[in-house]
Structure formats: C-alpha cells, structure tokens
Structure 1
Amino acid sequence: MPPFSAVGKRAKIREGSVCAIVGAAVPRHESIASALMAERGGEPMQRRTFLAGLGAVGAGLASRPLLARAASGPIRIGFFGPLTGNFSQTGKDMTDGFNLFWEEVGYKVAGREVKVFVEDSDPEPAGAITKVRRLVEQEQVHTIAGGLLAATGYAIAPYLEQNKIPSIYPVMAPDDITQRKPSRWILRTSATSSQLTFPLGDYAYKQLNLRRVATISMDYAFGWESNAGFQRVFEDLGGKVVQRIWTPLTAQDYAPYLTSLKKDVDGVYACHTGGLSPRFVKAWSDFGLKGKIALVGVGTLTDENILKGMGDEALGVITSLLYSSALDNPGNKKFSAAYEERYNRTTSLYSAEGYTGARFYYNALRAINGEAEDKEKFVAALRKVEISDDARGPMKMDDLGNPIQNMYIRKVERVGGVLQNTVIHTYPNVSQFWTYNRAEYLKAPPYDRNTPACKFCE
C-alpha cells in the first residue's frame, strides 16, 4: 500500500482489512502569514486579540447541528494534516506514523473495524477548521486527531468542545489548551510548546555556560511559547536574553535578521520549523556565525524530516525535543525498523507523534471494549492511558490532559556518513509546568509575543 497522498476526488484505498479514506485538498483561501498574523500599526497582533479572533471562528462553527451517528459498524477516526504545500513532508510523516500503527493491528480494536478518514488540510486555522467540520458533520467520525500549527489547535478547540468530540492533538502544542483553558474533550499526546524548551534553558546555562543570548523565532504561537519556555528558565538561573527577533512564516532571506544580531552575545536560541529550518541554518553558516556563536533551538530546527536535506552547516547545533530517531531504546528500535521498512525513510518527530497518537486510541478503545459511541467513557479512557515502551520513552497524562515525559538534549553529528540528532542528555519526567509551582504558574499571564517581558533587552 503506497504512502497517502492527496487526490482530486475522494478515494478509498484498501489492502486486505486496511481501510483509509483520503480527502481532496482545500484551496488555499489565504496565505499562512495572513491566517496567523494581522497587521496592527505595522506589527503582528498580540496573542489575546489573535486567540479571541480564532475562538470566535471556532465558536461560530460550533453552533452547527450534527447529524445522528450510527451506534454500530466501524470506529471512524478523522485525521487531518498538510499533505501538500510547504509543510507536506511534515504532514505525510505524521499521517504515515498514525496509519502504520493501525496497519500493524489490522485496523481493528476490540473486535471492531477501524476506518481512518484522512483530510489534506492547509496548516493555517481557516483551512483546518473547514476540514475538521467536514470530518465531523459529513463523515460522522467518532473522534478527531491531527493538525500541525499551535494556532490551529487554539482555533478548532471551541468547535470540538461544544460538540463534545473526543480528540487527540498528536502534534499541535498550544500551551493553554492544557493549562488556563483546559478542554475536557481534548487530549494532547505531544507536549506544550514551552515544555519542549524548559530543559534547553537549563542546559544552556548549566552545561553550555551561556550567559548572554539573543533569540530568533517564528512570529506565531509556537514561536512565542517555545521561546518563552527557554527564556524563563534561562533567566531564572541568572542568564540574560538581551535581544528578541521575530521572523515571519514567509521569510525567504534571513540575512537582515542575522545582520541585526548584537555582537556581544555568546549564544543564539532559534525556533523554526518545516522548510524554514534548513533555510535558517544554511543562512547562519553562510553568514559566518557557525563556530563563532553557539546555536541552540527547539528540536524542530533539526528534525529528521528536514535534517536529511542539510549538510555540514547543521553539525554541532544543539536542540531539545521529546524524540530523536537515534534514541536507543527497544520501543524506538521496533518503531524505526517498521517505519523505515514500510516507507523507505527515517523516522521523525512527526511520524513518532502520529504513531503514539494511534497507540493512545488503541489502548483506550480496548479498555472500553470499543464503545466509541459513549463519548464520556471514551474521553475518560483516553486520559487514563499510560505507555511505558513508547518510541520516545515512558509517558503518562497529567490531570489536564498533557503528558509527563522525557525531554532530550540532542546534538547534530555525522554518524556513518549520515547526520543524526545524537542524544547527549536526558531530562526525565518533564511536566508542562517544569519545576514551577503549578498554582502560581497558572496565575501568571500566558506566554505571548511580549510575555515574558524582555527585561534585559538593550
């Protein structure tokens, strides 16, 4: 069975008992940048205004009535992600990882057939909401999974909540979905954006001995929140973030941003993803900064799905993430072997997250004897899942629906002629609140473009 791809018309792909449905791509109604950013006085709008707008869109759709769903037959799972466009490789990885697990169990759980309905969705919120609505209202799925950008996670939450759709975010990492505004119907099996970088702030200060750092991050929710996680821990230990630079998702040339870097920093933190990551790392090297200033960042900067296209410019880059294809544990060895045999490419963060999301579904549905129609029982079972042998290590959910899990510090090295993210340090059992007092943490303002303040910016 070939990897999934978008088609012009809806098609059913079968191989034995395997059944997956692939939807057609939605036309790009607006650019990624315009969906995620709005100009106000020449500056992107702030998080609260931005999220309020997204919430209004989701809430408006939430009022649409749903058709009655059959109480028998296959368990219907709706999965959406970008299978075409700038983030297509990321979308294919997460979808392939998700479907690989279901192939391994014959697309069955608790004696019931499982059908996965895949929708090719633009990564920005507007396109994603349209596809989620289609899956729920037309395909009558029991549950929703997928999505890429943190902004999309915020945008679709009101619709899922009001319609009581048990849902998994296997990739999307918006902090507040499991913090100040937790959703009863949404479970995140990835991590919060800031959870990914709390350990990096600690490592940069204690192990790399960085003291003055500039940050260069994408100007949208994931960039703000992951940047904040690094900054908060780094500064609480005594370090200083002396400059913050935000780059648009449409950035083609990073030279103007690198030119503006302060000359007296001893390190730079970067947050980029998808095709922007190799572009930034190449520019960093071409600009003569490689080897002169330490470059650290969130793990999407050198994720395996784009690392394979990089060269020596990526060597030595240090990142933090919940996964590396080089992890040496039985779960990852099994997953990597199966994935590489099936798709003829290495695993990545996104394929691992897709696979884990499917495992959560399987374990939960098996625990409730496949009763996907009982929404209350279904979502409760999802929240109780614990996995001890996942490819990324052990994980269990906290009471807000976010995993407590290992985070890894990785360094790009060339091993056997191939670039890899070698794990050089492990932070076990990392919470979305790091080591902070949870009650005090939740009383503080949520992270956004200006929070925490850049109090040491010069």
Structure 2
Amino acid sequence: MEKKMFKNLFVFLAVLIAANSDVRSAEKEIKVGFISAFTGVFSSFGQQQKEGAVLALEEANYTAGGDKITVIYEDDQLDNEQAVTKAKKLVVQDKIDILTGLVSGDEGLSVGDYMKDKNIPVIPMYSASEDMTMRAFYPMIVRATWTGAQSMDVFGYWLAKVKGWKKIYAIGEDYSYPYNQGGGFKRGFFRGGGEEVKTVWHPVGTTSDFSSIIASIPTDQGYNAVLYNGAGGDAVNFVKQYVELGMLQKIPLIGQSNTFEKPDVESMPADIVGSLSAHHTADDLATPAWTKFKEAYHKRWGHDPSAASEFAYSSMRLILRGIDRQKGDISDKPALVKAMTQVDMSDDPRGPVALDPKYHSAIENVYIREVAKDDKDQLYNKGLWTVKNVGQFGPYDPELYLKQPPDTGSYPPDTPSAFAPEMLKAASEYQYIPFGQ
C-alpha cells in the first residue's frame, strides 16, 4: 500500500513539475528591437513598416516557437546618429534578441556597422543600401526584401532597350539609397543602349521649394524624361511643383521605386497618370497571396498596403517562422540566422521570394508600373510587366560586380563612355512578361 502511494505521489510530482516547466516555457520572452523613422520626412514609411509588422504579429498572436514576442519600438527620426544611439539602447539596456526595422540606406549601414560584433540577427525591412548584403555584409544580416539597384537596373534596361529612350535627366536626394537606385538605373540604361543620365542632387528634407531646381532643367536637349530619384515628403513636393510649373507638358516625369508609392501618390496631382516606375510590388496584383494580405491589411488599418508595409509584414513573418523552426530555442544566434535563411517564402504576398545562401539577400519579382486612377479617382501603381527571379546582382557576375566602385553621388558616371565596358557586356537579358501572366 505504501509503495503504491509513493508511486502515485511520484507520478503526481513529475506531472506537476512538467506542467510548471511548460508554463515557464510558454512565458519565455523573445525581445525584438524595431528602429524606424516615425517622425520626419520619411515618417510615412515608418508608419507603414509598423503597420505591416503588427499585422504579422497579430496573425501569430505575438508568439513564435511557443514563446511570447515583445517588440520595442524606437524612433530615429531618419538620423544616422540617432539610429546608432537607439541600437545601443536596445542592445545594452533592453537586451534584445533580434533587431529589425530601418527605412533608409544610411540608417542601415550605420546600424549594421554597430551591430556587426554583437552576435544579434539584423533583419533590415526597407533599408536598401546594397552594401549591407554585399561589401559590408556579415553573416548575422538577413535581408529578405531588396537593394536599391535591384529594381532600377530592370527599369533602366527596359526604358532603353524596349522604349528606345536615350537621354534621362535625373534629380535625386543626396544620400546612399538614391545613389544605389541611380546606380542601378544607369547600369541597366547604358547596357540597354542609353546614352546619358545627367544627375543633379539635393539635400534630403531641407526644402519644400523645388522651383529653382525644376527651372534649371534644360528643355531643348532631347531628354526623354526627368527621373525624380526621391521619396516621401520630398517626392510629394517635387511632383506637385513639377506639374504646377508646367514642366510635365514639356518632359515626361518618371520615378524611382518609392517616388509614387502609397500613400504619397494619393497626395499628388492626377496629371501624373501614366508616369512610370519599377518596384517589387504593384497595387493591382491579383494573386491569392496578395489579395489575402491586402484584405487583411485594409480591414486592420482602413487603407491599402504599400511596398514598405508588405516588406515589413514579410520580414516579421520571416523572423517568426525562423523562431518556429528553432522551436523557440534562440540561444544559438547563428543557428537562428541559418533557420531564417531556410524559411519557405514562396507564399509571400508580393510574389515568391528566395534567399541567396551566400549573401542572405532576396531573389524576387520586379514589376514595371505606371500611375493610374481607380474607379474612386484614387491614384495607384498599375502593373505593366513582370521580371522574375531578380537577385541583387541582376544579370551581372557577382565577382565582377563587386570589383566595381560602390554607388556614390559621382559613380556611376553620367555616360557609358566612362563606364566599365565589361559591365555593359553582361550577356543575360531580362524577360519582360505581361503583368498578370
């Protein structure tokens, strides 16, 4: 009898210990630091990032691998020093397990440099300076979104090769992301037969008056279009004044990937209908994955998603799925990064995404788009052409690409004659598939 009672007591205690262990496990907290520009000229992108990330977290009930996910948000006001200060606070004071967010290229490079010896996974959401996953890459970075050059090489090549354009006048914001967008555009444009991309830079967010810059655009030198290589509040102000000053009637306006992005395009004049750009999303995607995401996003936030919100949603799902693969055990951070690189992203809303195993960068669709007006007179980006499986090196040999100087305000040059000839001879050509096929 005593033996039986002892045995029953032992079983009861074992069950109790296991139950308590399960409770403790379920209560374990994984901290994710989230740095973005929630105020300032790019605040719309910061808000979109947060909305996309929150949607992914809510769908997962703020859990992954059986553990609670806590997100700590920090506003860097699009200031590089502030971004690093916030990263230090998250690492030292909050003791985060993962860092994500980031809007601009300069933010990403500055924070990435600080984080490189911290043994913490860094998942950039919208920061697109290519060197984060190229010349400044280190194994704790996983960027399942884009580089600045990735979509613009496709765009520039199409304008030159398909449309036959020869000369572009480019006006851009003076920092790393537009440098990379402009560099990608020039490489593609010159490889496709373009002859000149005249480039002028202006400081970011320091003026709302672009009249003098617009007035200086030469209208008698055969430019096929003006490319505005900027975004956010700068883009809204530039586009409005470009139309108001009558320049649109003289030279067509095209944009970099973010120029006509939602919600900013909704504040622009309807005169820009037909203006072209290229990105990894299009507002009228009709795939089941995009439709499901768009409906859920609209239900949660009351408006449609943008590229920034989709990228944040996608990146947060990558984080959560990586933790799931590790069953919540994130003690080995390199193993967590490896798990993230092995996540299946074929169901991504913007289209299938794969990760380059060497540089942890996205291979994905690029969409050529034009500004259109919907049945409610709202402007949106309508898809025209799809190019599949575009990686960060585009059609170029990675070793050859990395031998070239990084994109700056003065490189690549404005004409192909001063360009590395071996880059212009890249054999691969993009296949432009009618949108929706």
TM bin (shorter chain):
0.7 to 0.9
Letter in 1 for 2:390: V
Shift of 1:456: 6.6
Q: 1:184-223 maps to which residues of 2 (within 5 A)?
A: 184-223=139-178
Shift of 1:447: 1.1
Contact 1:386 1:397 in 2 (8 A): no
Letter in 2 for 1:217: G
**1:230: which partner in 2?**
185
Shift of 1:122: 1.5
Q: Tell me, in whole angstroms, the C-alpha distance in 1 between the residues paired with 2:37 and 2:383.
A: 29
Identify which of 380, 386, 392 aligns with 1:432. Answer: 392
**1:294: which partner in 2?**
252
Contact 1:404 1:430 in 2 (8 A): yes
**1:43: which partner in 2?**
none
Secondary structure of 2:99 counterpart: strand
**Cα offsets for 1:69-90 (capped at 9, x unmatched):** x998211111111222332222
Shift of 1:454: 2.0
Shift of 1:246: 0.7
Q: Tell me, in whole angstroms, the C-alpha distance in 2 between the residues paired with 1:168 and 1:94.
A: 13
**1:145: which partner in 2?**
100
Contact 1:297 1:318 in 2 (8 A): yes
Identify which of 220, 230, 251 aligns with 1:272. Answer: 230
- Displaced runs of 4+ in structure 1, greater than 4 A? none
Secondary structure of 1:386 counterpart: coil
**2:116: which partner in 1?**
161
Shift of 1:219: 0.8
**2:210: which partner in 1?**
254
**2:290 maps to 1:332:** yes
Letter in 1 for 2:211: A
Letter in 2 for 1:401: H
Q: Tell me, in whole angstroms, the C-alpha distance in 1 between the residues paired with 2:250 and 2:288.
A: 38
The structure in which a higher percent of residues are helix is 2
Identity %: 29
Shift of 1:386: 3.1
Shift of 1:367: 1.0
**1:317: which partner in 2?**
275
Shift of 1:251: 2.9
Contact 1:187 1:383 in 2 (8 A): yes
**2:432: which partner in 1?**
none
**Cα offsets for 1:359-401 (capped at 9, x unmatched):** 1012211111111221111111122223112111000111201
Shift of 1:311: 2.5
**Cα offsets for 1:260-287 (capped at 9, x unmatched):** 2222211222211111111111111122
Letter in 1 for 2:146: A
Letter in 2 for 1:216: I
Q: Tell me, in whole angstroms, the C-alpha distance in 1 between the residues paired with 2:55 and 2:139.
A: 28
Secondary structure of 2:190 counterpart: helix
**1:446: which partner in 2?**
406
**Cα offsets for 1:11-70 (capped at 9, x unmatched):** xxxxxxxxxxxxxxxxxxxxxxxxxxxxxxxxxxxxxxxxxxxxxxxxxxxxxxxxxxx9
Secondary structure of 2:400 counterpart: helix
**2:264: which partner in 1?**
306
Secondary structure of 2:354 counterpart: strand
Contact 1:242 1:456 in 2 (8 A): no
Root-mean-square deviation (CA, aligned residues, Å) is 1.9
**2:378: which partner in 1?**
418
Q: Tell me, in whole angstroms, the C-alpha distance in 1 between the residues paired with 2:174 and 2:151.
A: 17
Contact 1:213 1:268 in 2 (8 A): yes
Letter in 2 for 1:433: F
Q: Tell me, in whole angstroms, the C-alpha distance in 2 between the residues paired with 1:304 and 1:324.
A: 10
Letter in 2 for 1:369: K
**1:13: which partner in 2?**
none
Q: Tell me, in whole angstroms, the C-alpha distance in 2 between the residues paired with 1:123 and 1:234.
A: 30
Contact 2:112 2:122 in 1 (8 A): no
Q: Structure 1 245/198 Cα, relative in aligned 2: closer, same or farther at 3 Å? A: same
Shift of 1:208: 2.6
**Cα offsets for 1:109-140 (capped at 9, x unmatched):** 12111111111222121111111111111111
Unaligned runs of 5+ in 1: 1-69
Q: Tell me, in whole angstroms, the C-alpha distance in 1 between the residues paired with 2:266 and 2:140.
A: 37
Letter in 2 for 1:453: P
**2:13: which partner in 1?**
none
Q: Tell me, in whole angstroms, the C-alpha distance in 2 between the residues paired with 1:284 and 1:316.
A: 15
Paired residue total: 389
**2:134: which partner in 1?**
179
**2:325 maps to 1:370:** no
Letter in 1 for 2:403: K
Q: Structure 1 291/189 Cα, relative in aligned 2: closer, same or farther at 3 Å? A: farther
Q: Tell me, in whole angstroms, the C-alpha distance in 1 between the residues paired with 2:38 and 2:124.
A: 17
Shift of 1:255: 1.7
Q: Tell me, in whole angstroms, the C-alpha distance in 1 between the residues paired with 2:184 and 2:381.
A: 21
Secondary structure of 1:412 counterpart: strand
Stretch of structure 1 that moved more, 182-191 or 218-227:
182-191
Q: Tell me, in whole angstroms, the C-alpha distance in 1 between the residues paired with 2:152 and 2:40.
A: 28
Q: Tell me, in whole angstroms, the C-alpha distance in 2 between the residues paired with 1:396 and 1:387.
A: 6
Q: Tell me, in whole angstroms, the C-alpha distance in 1 between the residues paired with 2:355 and 2:93.
A: 31
**2:70: which partner in 1?**
115
Contact 1:302 1:314 in 2 (8 A): no
TM-score (norm 2): 0.86
Secondary structure of 2:142 counterpart: strand
Contact 2:190 2:416 in 1 (8 A): no
Letter in 1 for 2:56: F
Secondary structure of 2:158 counterpart: helix
Contact 2:27 2:68 in 1 (8 A): no
**2:349 maps to 1:391:** yes
Letter in 1 for 2:362: P
Q: Structure 1 242/169 Cα, relative in aligned 2: closer, same or farther at 3 Å? A: closer
Identify which of 342, 347, 356 aligns with 2:300. Answer: 342
**Cα offsets for 1:179-216 (capped at 9, x unmatched):** 12211111112211111201110121133321111111
Q: Tell me, in whole angstroms, the C-alpha distance in 2 between the residues paired with 1:155 and 1:340.
A: 34
**1:27: which partner in 2?**
none
